[in-house]
Amino acid sequence: MPGFEIFGDEEKKEIAEVLETGVLFRYEFGEQRKGVYKVAEFEKMFAAYCGAAHAQAVTSGTAALKVALMALGVGPGDEVITQGFTFVATWEAILDVGAIPVFTEVDESLNMDVADLVSKITDRTRCIIPVHMLGSAADIESIIDIACRHGLPVLEDTAQAAGGTVGGKHLGTFGKCGTFSFDAVKTMTTGEGGMIITNDPKLWRQMSEYQDHGHDHVENPGARGGEGRNFIGFNYRMMELQGAIGLAQLAKLDFMVKRQKEHKARLQRAASTIPGVTLRRQIDPEGDTATFFAFLLSDKEHCQRVGDHLKAQGVGAINFAENTWHFYPQWEHLLSGATLHSSGWPFKTPEGKRRVIYSPEILPRSAAIMERTLVYPVAINMEEEKLASICQALESAAAL
Ligand SMILES: Cc1ncc(COP(=O)(O)O)c(C=O)c1O
């Protein structure tokens, strides 16, 4: 991570083609655009790359989650299960459609704990959102099995794992739909941007209309504005410049993943020399995108010692137990129900009655895992000197 490391002539060429037409809007301007439809082409190529029937581009990974949840019909009165280790966007989108997020533990895959998922399903559950965190797959096949048994749709939050696979099948294609982020720090980036993939034509059509104010996109003689509409929507449209960059980045995605895997393998070898270390459990190491390298120490104190040592060597690693954006007990605004709505919505009803209370202690197994886990982001262009100094620091941590 991230794809901007290898911006080059390919991205410039794609952008220039858009600027030459002067059309930044993804729809209309038929004559002026001379056949250049970058967002539509990006959707087609991204769907084909993942092996999905349809793709819908949107403005961000957060918008992708929101649009997908709306198309799945999730709303007030519903519960959506996701994991307590994710970026805040996953549950922001759930709250934004009026549903209540329910959080599962994560296991040593750092993804959804499948046994805990089963215990969290109620008759109000309407959707399950596993997150393929830090570039590696959740136990998606087990999750799909459980969801099928309960007749629930699975929305895969694949924001951090574009290009990842399990058994050769792309992440995002196991569930009813999969969402992606192309924000500034993602493996493939368009600065801001997102995508939703699905094999369900009706779901795709609903997403396509919802992200564009409800325009039904049916050909009409009177140009834009003359189309019909089936329901109210919003504006989450991707623009042509993003589509152009996306096309160039997508063509490099396999290369980016390959480079990251090479770098990660070296970090992994070095970390494995530390007594008591275990590597993050991988569902399918072949399909890992290697965007991050995570390793678990024997306990919290050991993790602290190794973490301090790495920092002292100038190559500090991330401990997500302390990270305020990715781990449940650190989301003080969620726990306290802080919102701009004067009624307290979405944590309270419009009448001011509490809809949900989140206690910081509900995920003890996740906390026990996160407090002994260290993580390095893996770059595409990691300088040899940097890589060698991290490896050296890891190897010298063996003595601690
Ligand atoms: C797991 C996860 N979901 C959703 C998002 C939201 O993506 P965006 O930043 O494009 O809105 C992110 C972004 O970091 C993420 O990591």
Contact assessment for residue 57 and residue 193, using Cβ atoms and an 8 Å cutoff: yes
Residues 228, 280: one domain? no
Residues 98, 237: one domain? yes
Secondary structure letter of residue 294 according to DSSP: E
204, 226, 252: which is the final residue of a domain? 252
Catalytic residues: 186
Residue 307 near ligand 1, beta carbon < 6 Å:
no
Determine which residue's CA is closest to atom 7 belonging to ligand 1.
61
Residues 273, 368: one domain? yes
Q: Compute the distance from residue 194 Cα to the ligand 1 centre, in Å.
A: 9
Q: Does pLDDT of 267 surpass 90? A: yes
229, 252, 275: which is the final residue of a domain? 252
207, 231, 252: which is the final residue of a domain? 252
pLDDT of the residue at 219: 83
Which CATH number do you get for residue 274? 3.90.1150.10
Q: Compute the distance from residue 360 Cα to the ligand 1 centre, in Å.
A: 23
Q: Compute the distance from residue 79 Cα to the ligand 1 centre, in Å.
A: 20
Mean pLDDT within 90-106 = 98
Domain assignment of residue 263, given as a range:
255-399
Residue 89 near ligand 1, beta carbon < 6 Å:
yes
pLDDT of the residue at 282: 97
pLDDT of the residue at 221: 78
Q: CB-based burial of residue 382 (10 Å sphere; 0-12 exposed, 13-18 middle, 19+ buried)? A: buried
Residues 228, 279: one domain? no
Which CATH number do you get for residue 218? 3.40.640.10
**Amino acid in the structure at residue 27:** Y
Residue 183 near ligand 1, beta carbon < 6 Å:
yes
257: its two tokens: 């993943």
Contact assessment for residue 78 and residue 57, using Cβ atoms and an 8 Å cutoff: no
The arrangement of strands across the sheet holding 373-377 comes to 278-279, 292-296, 373-377
Residues 244, 327: one domain? no
Residue 179 pairs in a beta bridge with: 157, 196
pLDDT of the residue at 151: 98
Which secondary structure element, helix H or strand E, spans residue 254, and what is its range? Answer: helix 253-271
Residues 58, 143: one domain? yes
Q: pLDDT tens digits for 175-207? A: 999 999 999 999 999 999 999 999 999 999 999
Output the DSSP codes for 143-162.
HHHHHHHHT--BEEE-TT-T
Residues 97, 171: one domain? yes
pLDDT of the residue at 382: 87
**Tally of domains in the chain:** 2
With left for phi above 0 and alpha for psi between -120 and 50, is residue 105 left, alpha or beta?
A: beta
